[in-house]
Amino acid sequence: MVRKHGRNLGLVHPAHTTMDCGRCGARAKRALPLSERTCTCDACGAVSPRDKNSARVMLVRAGLNPADADRGRPDGPQVRQAA
């Protein structure tokens, strides 16, 4: 599938992706309860939805730049930015 779609596949160790901060990389002292949907970092104070935060952690681990992740597919048309 990866070759067919011309994508790069990066394997990322999934452990602690929900506990690490997507901005500063600090690890939370304890896992967020699943009912808690928003992740707040104790170290840098970053607040983000937990799924988005862990996605960011995985991108960093895969060696990608999460700053580009919100702008659609890398080889596809750019998503128009809101003015």
Closest distance to Zn ion from the beta carbon of 66 (Å): 13
Residue 38 or 72 with smaller CB distance to Zn ion: 38
List all residues 6 or more positions away from 49 whose beta carbon is below 8 Å from its beta carbon. Answer: 37, 38, 39
Whichever of 21 and 58 has its CB closer to Zn ion, that residue is: 21
User: Residue numbers of the site for Zn ion (CB under 5 A)?
Assistant: 21, 23-24, 26, 41, 43-44, 46
Secondary structure class of 32 (helix, strand, coil): coil
Neighbours of 39 (CB within 10 A): 21
Instruction: Compare residues 11 and 67 and give the one whose CB is closer to Zn ion.
Output: 67
Shortest separation between residue 53's beta carbon and Zn ion, angstroms? 9
The alpha helices in the chain, defined as continuous H runs, are: 50-61
